[in-house]
Amino acid sequence: MMRQLVIVVMIVIANKNLKRRENYRKPVIAGNWKMFKTRDEALFFILQVSEAMPSSKDVETIVFAQAPLMRCLIKRQGLNLKIGAQNLFYEDEGAFTGEISGPLLKSYKVEYVLIGHSERRAYFYETDEIVNKKIQAALRNTLRPIVCVGERLEERENNLTEKVLERQIKGAFEGVKAIDMKNIIIAYEPVWAIGTGKTATAEMADDACGFIRNEIEKLYGKLIAEEIRIQYGGSVKPENIEELLSKENIDGALIGGASLDPDKFIAMANAAVK
């Protein structure tokens, strides 16, 4: 009798562990350096943080740097830190002066590329259609996109957040195959929280990430929706990251300003180790 009870308990524990592993989404902490840091400053940062990054078994950490820095940073990135690109063009080659091609990034062994950041949408007129073409270009070149979506302040104030997110998600993933979704991360970044010091509350961020997950489920089904990683971005810093990451639908952070400081970046990467 006792033996049977022990076996039942062991089966229950094993099932629970299996379930936990099935639902496990490895956190991804990414720094968006925007148009900051010279070559020397960037190298100094990498030198300071590389050794202090948590194991890539527990957390994925990425720094998105300006394109000319790719080559020298990738050579020194270390085992637990990846260097990503902030942008790519949707054609693979041609007369597009100043643009960055997917094949070039690939030749530098870049793995991740940011697509649809609100600054690119606002200052470089990137529409949902362009975002979609860029995602296709990234996937064609076996790059992994972090796709940014998020509402502007007036849209939130007019209760349009979900409408905007729905439009951005549908537009971004038009024609993207289910099999490619495993290579995609989504970053929910409310525009009003970027670089402003105003963070969405953890509940607001979790609700929006949950809504996005739901939209992905409508497009691709439950399994893909449960597996896709969704980050929050918008004035994340060491003081608020733990609360944000404790939420069910938030699988990491995309960090601008605070990622420029090596000590803060180390602290935030380590906060993601559960």
Q: Which residues lie near ligand PEP (CB under 6 A)?
A: 32, 34, 189, 194-195, 233-236, 254-258
Residue (32 or 249) nearer to ligand PEP, CB: 32
Min dist. Cβ of residue 217 to ligand PEP (A): 25
Min dist. Cβ of residue 252 to ligand PEP (A): 12
- Residue number closest to ligand PEP, CB atom: 256
Residue (101 or 252) nearer to ligand PEP, CB: 252
What does the block give as tokens for 146? 């972090």
Q: Which of 117, 119, 151, 215 is catalytic?
A: 117
Min dist. Cβ of residue 256 to ligand PEP (A): 2
Q: Which of 151, 155, 189, 215 is catalytic?
A: 189
Residue (51 or 239) nearer to ligand PEP, CB: 239
CA dihedral 47, 53, 57, 62 (to 10 degrees): -70
Min dist. Cβ of residue 233 to ligand PEP (A): 4
Residue (35 or 95) nearer to ligand PEP, CB: 35
Min dist. Cβ of residue 77 to ligand PEP (A): 20
Residue (155 or 189) nearer to ligand PEP, CB: 189
Active-site residue, 22 included: no
Active-site residue, 189 included: yes
Catalytic positions are 117, 189
